[in-house]
Every structure is written in structure tokens, then in C-alpha cells.
Chains A and B, each alone.
Chain A
Amino acid sequence: MSDVALIKSLLLTIPLAFLVFRALPAGLALAARLPLALALGWTVALGVTLLVPTGVMSYLASFAIVGSIYAVIALGLNVQWGYTGLFNIGIAAFFAVGAFTSALFTTTAPTGVAAGFTQQAFGLGAPFLVGVLAAGVVAGVLAAVVGGPTLRLRDDYLAIATIGIAELVRLVFQNERWLANGPQPLRGIPQPLVCLVREAGCPWLPAPIMGLFAPLSPRDYTYVYLVITALFVIVTFMVLERAVRSPWGRLLRAVREEEDAAAMNGKDVARIKLQAFVVGAVIMGMGGALYAHYMVAIDYSHFDPLYATFLIWVMLMLGGSGNNRGAILGAFVIWGVWTGAAFAVDALRPALAAISPELPARGPYLRLLLIALLLIFILLFRPKGLIGEERFVSRHSGSREA
């Protein structure tokens, strides 16, 4: 077995072991569950790395990266819509603000000749994690500004406000050149831990550990980034599960079900809604940051309503709103359908050409049609999604605790 396969499989073990860990029965003692999960996860990882051709494998890895980024954003939407019933149809705003914030924080502002080509308001050259945190904070502040006045009003006002703010944010990034290079892409967003796969290595890492990564070449960076996004999904998932299965989550669901009764039971409804809206937006912003560092170059066009709002809604609807596992599952399934449909349309080209010569050029629209049909089918036949909300959400108020 080659060193490359070994190190790749070790990297893949991290997300896979988590999945196995979750799949194992909860009754199992941690001392048994954890090693078992690691062993099984590694076995699967090794098998996949050895059996699947390298090209396909790296395609799958980048698929999983985008899937994870969407999963993070769907988790954010799940806090807002799934648990609290807040109708945010401007996800793109928080997604974009997060992406550009992290980009501005982590890049360095160009000087000299380059400054003539790339304009940006500032570039702090901060580390990746600082960028991600800043993305969360700025998206959260935007949510507070939008939500503060509108969450007190009837539900539809939030929808109107969010759809407006999403368009506004996109147009600002399109037109304000000084801010983030306007219509031109903002390039050179640093890839975190890219030094692991570089010849020179990471200077801060002890040589023996660095040696482990030596077999990796720059094009294997996908695996490193996959681990980063997967860890992000895992941490977000665990934090949200805790929060949602607590009295805090109970408040959110109570507000979703019946606002007046919550108010008459002493709950400050406007404040609860604002909290949920901000928490969801912070997560979306951080998802945006993950996206920026994966793409390396971003511009306003990445954040159109189709990719940055609509698809995420379909993901949550399909997976099951009110269920964090559902949000993650939905993200991967819908991203799979969406990318798979591109292949299908390609394969159908001859058939489409036979119907009408103009049809193959319009193939991309068939994907939209497919997703729209899927959405209709979900709503008709599976309105709660693949895995809907559980009956006993709270940790301490289910019958199991009795």
C-alpha cells in the first residue's frame, strides 16, 4: 500500500468515523463505541481509497466539500425555519456577507501595480479561523439589523425584508469596486493548511508530523479541506443538537407553534426570534467563509438566489426541517441530485437533439425542472422530509428520562 493512500485514508477516517459513531447504538459504552467507530471508519476509508480510482475519488472529495458547506448553511436555516418558523428567503445575503468578510480578513490588500487591478476595502492577512469567526460575527450583526425591526411584525415582513436584503447585498458586491473588487472576482483567498501539501511544508509543525504529510502533492489538498469542512459540520451539528434539545430549543419550538401562548407564559417572543435568527445567520456566515476559502476566488455572481437560497431550502425540505440530521442529509442528497442531473443532461444530449436541435443548449434548465419536480413531490408525499422532527426533542423532557 502506498503512503499516499494511507495518509488519504487517515484523513477520510475523521468524517467517516463520526458517521459510524452516530450510527452505532447509543446504548454502547463510549469505551467500546469510540474505538469501534474509528476502526470501522478507517476500514471504510482505506477500502474506498484503494478501490476507487484516484480521479473519481478526488471528484467525490470535492463533492463532499461542497455538500458539507451546504450542510452547514442548511443547519443554519434549520435553526431559523425548522425550529423557530422564521421564513428567511434571503439566505444568500448571509452566505455572501460571510464569504466576503472572511475573504477580506484573510487576504492581504494588493500594493503597487497589482493595486491597479484589484481593489478591496482592506485586507488584514488574518488566519483562517479569524476570518471564519469574523464572517459569523458580521453575518450575525446583519441579521440583528434586519431582524430587529421586522421580527416584531407579522411573519411575511421577515420574508420581504430578507429577500430584499439578499438582492441588496449582491448588488453592493457587484457594484462597489472599492469594497471587494466589484464585478471582478476577489482572488487569492488563502487555503487553510495548504502548507501541509506543499514542498516547503508548514514551518510551525514538528518535522516528524510534517513527514506524515510528505507523500501528499498540492492536488491532494482537497482531502485536507474536506477534513476541515467535515469537522465544521460535526462541531456545528453537535453544538446545535445540544442547544436545540435544551430548554432553549423548547422556547424556539414553542414560539414556532403558538406565539401568543408563549408570550402569555412569560416568554419574550421578539427576543427569542431574534436570537434564533442571529444564531442561524452566524452559522450561514461561517458557511459562506468555508465556501470562499474553498473557491479561492469569489464574486457576486456566486450568490444568486438559485444557488445560495433556493437550493438550500429544497435541501432542508427534503431532509426534514426540525431535524439537524435531516438538514445534513438533505444537503448531500440535493447536491447529489443537482450535480448528477448535469451528467444526466449531458448523457441525454443526443436524445434531446433528436427532439429538437435547440434543446441540448437548453439542457441546464432541465436541472431546474428536475429540482422543482422533486420539491413538489416532497411537499405532496413526504411533507415532513426524509427524517422529520422527532417527538421527543428535549433531552430532559422525553419519556426516556422518566
Chain B
Amino acid sequence: MEPTVARRIPPGADGVPNGQPLLHVDRLSKDFGGLRAVNGCSFSVRSGSITGLIGPNGAGKSTVFGLISGFLRPDEGRVYLDGDDITGLPPHQVFRRGLCRTFQIPREHASLTVLENLMLVPPDQLGERFWNPLLRPLAVRRQERTIREKAQEVLEFLTLSHLRDEYAGTLSGGQKKLLELARTLMADPRIVLLDEPAAGVNPSLMARIREQLVQLNAERGITFLLIEHDIPLVMGLCDPVIVMNQGTKLAEGPPALVRGDPRVLEAYLGGQYGAADD
């Protein structure tokens, strides 16, 4: 099954009533050689939520992101977006269904300017076809204007405007994280998977990213699933929080509940802690 028709999603409306599952992964497994990185992991992300995905190093969080976004193919299990099976679709087709992701280590197009990094994103641009710039230069120019305006809006929203014409490769680590987020906004996504948005970002910048996530979630109805090691950030921002350990879901629930779960403490701090707590 390979659906080819892309669905264009109007901004802010993801087509799923709030609270219903938008993304669902069902018994995902992935082996790397002899290592089982993800082991029968299932969870759902409700539409309109900011869901946190936490867990100790090596729990399989980033692998799950790779499996959802099409960079990796699961050995077992399925991924559903809005009820459609998207398992095994290549990343560009997953994107077209409204799912964007950022990378743990930012992957910017280094020798393109910041503006170009954003202008790249909108799908089905007229000028992406070799002949159109030659045969229909005016239509291409018109579309480029629209896209540039949108890119400038996004830059302004994320307070990156002053870096517009810089090479993306010269930005600081935190600015690159913002650029990753900016690119996802160029796409009007339904759901964004953020891989450690706070790692390497200074606290004041992080406060701003956090503010913007909340605003995007509230105003544009974008659902977020984020991997994060900064526990206070997750506890303050996310509801629910999903905890992974050894390739599978360990616990899920409101942050306060998850924080007190002895299994979670054990996973993070080792068996001794769990035992002592009894």
C-alpha cells in the first residue's frame, strides 16, 4: 500500500478532534544487529497535546522517532497517523501527511542562507520543476514572493529576522535549534516531533522556545511530541508524559503521576532506588 495523493492541511486544523489519537504506534520493534533498540513499543499521541517522551539514555526514544518519520523501517509493528497506516513510507511522504520532525543534532543546509533554508520547505513549489523557471518565470517569481513573505513571518515569530541572510552553518547551536523549529513551521504541520529541543540551548533562549511551543500549540493547534532530558522542562510543558525504558513504554500519565511512579525512578536511578523506596 503506497498512498500517493498528498493531503494539504490548512494551518491550525489537523482534522482530528482534540483529545483523539492523532498519532498511534502499535507494537513497534527494531533490531540493530543483535541489539533490540525498540521492543514492542505502543503509545498514542492525542491531538492538541504536547506529549513528552522521556527515558534514560538508550531507551530507544530517537529510534522511535526514526521509525515514525520514515528514516528507519520497523521490523515489526505499525505506525498510524490519523488512522492511516504510514508504516514504511519514506520521510518525504510522511512529511506530506503533516508530520515534521527535528533532529537531535541540528541538520541545517549549511551553505544556504537562513532565509533559503526556510524557503526550501513549502511543498510542490512551481519553480522546483526544471522547466518552470525558464518557461514561466513570472509565475515562479510570484510564488517565490509569497513563500518569502511567509518565511519572513516565521523568522519574525521566532525572533531570527536579524540572521536572515547569514549562512545557516554559522549560527550558534541554539539558533540552529530555532531554525529547525522554523522549518517545521514553514510546512503548516499537524504534528511536530522535536528531538531534544533544549539540548545545548542556553536557558534564556530555551525559555523563548518553550513560550513559542505553547503559543503554537494553543493558537495553531499543532500537536507536539518531544523527547527531552531536561526533566523540569518536560514536567512543566508536557501532558501527558510517556516514559520509555529498554525499548518499550514503561509508564504514561500526567507529569505529577509519572514523577512519583516507582518504576520510573527505578529505570532512571537503578534497582537500588526502587528497592529502597518500598
Contact = CB atoms under 8 A, between A and B. Distances in A.
A265 B183 contact: yes
Contacts of B123: 266
A396 B108 contact: no
B67 to A, nearest CB: 14
Interface residues of A, number: 35
A137 to B, nearest CB: 15
B5 to A, nearest CB: 14
Contact of B129 (A248, A250, A262, A265): A248
B269 interface: no
Contacts of A389: 111
Nearest to B135: A242
Interface stretch (A87-95, A112-120, A251-259, A338-346): A251-259
A100 B254 CA distance: 71
Given A251-B128, A258-B108, A399-B164, A266 B95 contact: yes
B259 interface: no
A268 B92 contact: yes
Contacts of B183: 261, 265
A263 interface: yes
Contacts of A301: none
A397 B186 CA distance: 15
A310 B66 CA distance: 40
A62 interface: no
Interface string B92-130: 100110001101000111111101110111010111111
Interface in A112-160: none
Given A260-B71, A391-B113, A399-B164, A247 B103 contact: no
A279 interface: yes
Contact of B134 (A239, A265, A266): A239
A205 interface: no
Contacts of A64: none
Contacts of A108: none
Which of B103, B109, B120, B187 lies at the interface centre, i.e. has the most chain A CB atoms within 10 A of its CB?
B120
Contacts of B101: 264
B205 to A, nearest CB: 21
B140 interface: yes
A151 to B, nearest CB: 14
B263 to A, nearest CB: 33
A253 B92 CA distance: 17
Interface stretch (B14-22, B28-36, B141-149, B236-244): B141-149
Contact of B115 (A247, A275, A397): A397
Interface of A: 239, 242-243, 245-248, 250-251, 253-254, 257-258, 260-269, 275, 279, 389, 391-392, 394-399, 401
Interface of B: 69, 71, 90-92, 95-96, 100-101, 103, 107-113, 115-117, 119-121, 123, 125-130, 132-134, 137, 140-141, 144-145, 148, 164-165, 167, 183, 187
8 contacts: A246-B133, A247-B133, A248-B128, A250-B116, A257-B108, A263-B90, A263-B91, A397-B119
Given A261-B183, A263-B92, 5 more contacts: A251-B128, A253-B109, A261-B109, A265-B183, A268-B90
